[in-house]
Structure 1
């Protein structure tokens, strides 16, 4: 390749600058698109990797915590009774044990617990539930 005369260096230099500018603009666009894609992928991974507990998992208890709550509940702690009810119904899936703890809260004077047990027994009509409902209404003066 022949070296152009001196006066053409400026034109070649300007042409090379324009080419370089066009190339750098293209690379910049490619780089930005790449960053956007990486960011979107990272966001997708965050969404897929993020974890929201199920309702039951929110009420899971360790064995030691369950024993402690049962001790507190047996001493009349209404909050412990309610937490145990949630644990048995929502985490373990033992509806009968959960209702038993709500009933104990009702026996301790919690009106909302009494309403909950009465509503549950009324909606789940079995001969055993009807007998229990009558006994609780009598015991709670309803």
Structure 2
């Protein structure tokens, strides 16, 4: 188990990835130009701070897609909360027009899907096969 697929801590070996998506309030198309550039910088900065690796990132005018890898102690809710809260605060300070267009930068909701190397079907079969051993 020493491939790049897994990471290690003192007590665990893991490979945890999430696909996260969220939108600006009212799905406004404000994530363009300098706002989009700055958002990418801020996301990378905050991700490093909370021990999250952003594997892929795409900032669209009206939503953000991230594929992140993290430790077992970081929940998807914590990661999303940290990234949305930090970027909202900084972007609204640096780009005052965002305050006049939106009561808050992000919607309260987000999409999350766990992403793994092994399929659900494979795991179910593996567990079922353990009965015979």
User: Hey, which of these two has a bigger chunk of helix by percent?
Assistant: 1
Q: Do these two structures clear the TM 0.5 threshold for a shared fold by scoring above it?
A: no
Higher normalized contact order (CA 8 Å, seq sep 6+, divided by chain length): 2
Q: Highest CA radius of gyration, 1 or 2?
A: 1
User: When the two structures are superposed, what TM-score results if normalisation uses the length of structure 2?
Assistant: 0.27
